[in-house]
Each structure stands twice: as C-alpha cells, then as structure tokens.
Amino acid sequence: MQQRQSAVLGLFEAARGFSLTAPFPRLIPVRQVFDSSREDDPAAATHRELARLRGTVEPGMRVAITVGSRGISNLATVVRAAGEWLRDAGAEPFVLPAMGSHGGATAAGQVEVLAHLGVTEAEVHMPILATMDTVVLGQCDDGPAVHLDAIAATADAILLLNRIKPHTDFRGPVESGLAKICSMGLGNQRGAEAIHAFGAGRLARWIPEIARKIMGAVNVLGGLALLENALEETARVVFVDREDIGGAGEARLLEEARSLVGSIPFDELDVLVVDEIGKGKSGSGMDTNVIGRRRARGVEEFDRPRIANISVHSISPGGDGNGIGVGLADFVPFRVLEQIDLYAMYMNAMTAGNSGTQRAQIPMVLPTDRDAIAAAMLTCGRADVADATLVRIHDTLDLSRLRVSESLRASVESGPGLEIDGEAAPMSFDEFGNLL
C-alpha cells in the first residue's frame, strides 16, 4: 500500500514549484460562549444510571459493552465505571468494538482504534474481545440482512453505550446514538455495508428497524447515552430502557443533544480553514452539520452555513490514516495526501455506500498550506479578495475558539455569544509555507 501511495504522490511532483499568493487577512481571536452545563463526575453518574438494572443482571452473566470509534469525552472513564458496576452486580463484563468497518475492517485494527481513544484493557480493567465475524439474524422486508457481531451473539447480555448526536448523513427522529451502534456498530463491516447499500436517504428507516430486530433476538439490557456540550464535555449520562432505544426516548435525547452542539456563527463565509479532520472528530471526518455540506447522494443539503471554499490541512493521527471527509474540502496541501491510508479510507467509503464515495474523493492539491488557502481565497467568487470573509478552526468539534477575518468584525461585535479575545494578527506561515 505504501508503494502505491508513493506512486500516487509522485504524480504531484511536477507541481512542487507551483506557488500562489493572496492578500491574506488579519485574523481576530474570537471566543464563542456556549451552554457549559456538564456532568462533574461521569463515573458516579454512570453508577447512578445503571442502578436501574439492579435485579436484572444475574451473577456470572457475560455482558458485552459496546464501544465505537468516535472521540467521546470521558469515554474510558464511563466504560470503566460501567464495568465496575456490572462486576459489583456479579456479572463478567467485557468491551466489544462496535464500529462497522472502521479500523480497516479488521479486529486488530478496531482494537487499535479503541487504544487511540484511551480504551485499553489496562485502562478499563476489562478484556477487549474483537472479531469481524457476524451471524445473520434475519432479513428486513424489502431491506438489508440483519447482521450481529459473532461474539455479541454468544454473550448473555449486551449493554449499548454511545454518544447521542445529530448524524452527518441524514435527518430523522433517531440519528447517531444507541440504535446506530446496535444496528451498524454491532453489524461490523458486513452489517454496515448491507445497510448503506440502500443509500443514505434510507438510514432513518433502517437504523431503528434493525436495532429493534437485534433487540428482539438477543438480550440487550438497555443503553448508556452520553450527551456532550459544545465544549466537548460530558453534559449528561442517561440510561435508556431498551424499549426506548430507536424510539421516543432516544428521539427526545437527540433533540436535547441538538440544542447543545456548537456551530459556526455565520450564515455565509467565503473561506473556512480547518486545521485537522479525522474519524475521531466525526464519522465524516468533518461534522457536516457544522460545515453545511453533506455531499451524500439522495440526501438534501443544509440551509446554512453556506461556505464557498474549504481548505483542510491535516488528518488526525488517531484515525490510522483514514482520511474520509477529505472530499468535503476544496483544497488541501500535499501533506494531507501523505497522511492518508487509501485502503483504510476506501474501505470506509465503500462500506458507507453513496454517502461515502464523494467524501473520499481527492480535492485540489497544492504544495503548501499557504498555497491551499490562497487558492481557496482566489476562487471564492468575491471580486475583491481583500474583503473575503474567512474563519479558521482547529476542527469541527472545537468551536469555542475561532480566528476570523477583520471583514467579520462587525458581525462578531453584534453577534450573540461572541466575544473578541485579543488583537488582530496576520495569518502566519513558516519558511516552508506551513500554517503557524
């Protein structure tokens, strides 16, 4: 794979001398004030919520705890606390990777993804059991087969654990959360691929329907739902009864989660500069709800924000080279290509079907960060590029601190929840054109 990628990168060598200039704006540091309600002791909250299972868990019961591939605040803490409570109840808990095709669609790769998230056997005090094998539980009418992780199928019980948040591919009463980790996460690569084969526009139907079929076939104790505020902190830990997974209870939590997430505080932008994308940031590398681009065939696009051009400058190291989401950008520097593992990205994209192919496409590639941003400015559609509106963020999870062009000063000063946090400074690059 490395040799093939080197060959691909070689195609761009002729452009090494390519250089662009633009009137880069001075950037104002801005702080965005969000609802900062949070759970101060997630471990205690986990014990409190799981107390609702008292009398349900029997001594010696082997309980699988699902853990996905997303970066979730206090993930290892909550997983460890869930294991502690189950052991105190006499059970024998273990961690089960539940992440579809992530980690290169291999058991070892998925265990490695968990390690990047801080979930190791030493950290959570439980064994981690992983396989990509599944059993088929049945078939949906006019729909996909129902796959279940082979290890999960042998467990005495399953405790679903996941963050609830708006999905990047579709809108529906139930989106990313407990039903999704049950239907697609526990389905491993085969199950996720089967569901995605029907298109992103049908996910709102299949995710809850398949979750209900799985819960009808095996003993799902319920779910631990994690909600986060816009500062990436645990806002709430909530136990959800199995009857409410994929139903009204989970739908209510989704609406609460939607009210907590951060957003870019401008309806229109000429250029968005994103320092880093990755699977730990969002299932689509960048949260489509934040950037206003879904790029999933058959699914309606967002009304806002409307961003002319997006440049992306790095793939986070925790994703093992999965650069999914790079296709949501318009411009990248060569460095981003060097960081991508095409096998990991394409496996993820192919599994995701028509919601993945566009997001794995390679945008225009320029030699340096400076060139990529210059290209984004020069093609944004503004006659006087010096007046372009530009925002720089670290990633789509971290929206509390922004750097915005002086052309947006009036909008910041009149915008609710926005505070100027310092003096404007030039956009800076090192001698190699790398962003500082």
Quickly state the pLDDT bin for 1 (edges 50, 70, 90): very low
Instruction: For residue 225, give the amino acid letter.
Output: A
Residues 122, 26 share a domain: no
Q: Is residue 180 part of a domain?
A: yes
DSSP per-residue letters across 377-388:
HHTSS-SSGGG-
Question: What percentage of the chain carries pLDDT values higher than 90?
Answer: 72
- State yes or no: cis peptide before 305, omega within 30 of 0: yes
Instruction: For residue 30, give the amino acid letter.
Output: V
CA-CA-CA-CA torsion sign (315, 318, 320, 323)? negative
Domain boundary among 235, 260, 285: 260
Residues 168, 297 share a domain: no
* Average of per-residue pLDDT values in the chain: 91
pLDDT at 4: 44
Quick check: 271 and 373 in contact, CB under 8 A?
Answer: yes
Domain boundary among 205, 227, 260: 260
Q: What tokens does 107 get?
A: 């058991």
pLDDT at 14: 52
Identify the H or E element spanning 330. Answer: none
The range of the structural domain enclosing residue 272 comes to 2-34+262-426
Q: For 281, which DSSP code?
A: T
Residues 80, 13 share a domain: no
CATH of the domain at 236: 3.40.50.11440
Q: What is the pLDDT of residues 51-83, one digit of tens each?
A: 999 999 999 999 999 999 888 999 999 999 999
pTM of this structure? 0.77
Residues 270, 155 share a domain: no
Domain boundary among 260, 284, 310: 260
Domain count, the chain: 2
Quick check: 201 and 294 in contact, CB under 8 A?
Answer: no
- Rounded to whole angstroms, the Cα distance separating 365 from 8 reads 12
* Angle, helices 342-351/2-10, rounded to nearest 10 degrees: 100
The alpha carbon of 76 is separated from its chain's Cα centroid by a whole number of angstroms, namely 17
pLDDT at 221: 98
Residues 212, 291 share a domain: no
Q: Find the largest Cα–Cα distance for the chain.
A: 71
Nearest CA among 50, 130, 129, 126 for reference residue 83: 126
- In what side-by-side order are the strands of the sheet with 234-240? 92-97, 62-67, 157-163, 220-228, 234-240
Whether residue 332 is predicted with pLDDT greater than 80 in this model: the reply is yes
Quick check: 146 and 211 in contact, CB under 8 A?
Answer: no
Quick check: 341 and 285 in contact, CB under 8 A?
Answer: no
What average pLDDT score do residues 30-52 get?
94
Q: Is residue 101 part of a domain?
A: yes
Q: Which range (166-170, 171-175, 222-226, 397-401) has the least confidence? A: 166-170
Q: Is residue 435 part of a domain?
A: no
Spell out the residues 6+ positions from residue 182 whose beta carbon is closer than 8 angstroms to its own.
66, 98, 160, 210, 211, 214, 215, 220, 223, 245, 246
Instruction: For residue 89, give the amino acid letter.
Output: A
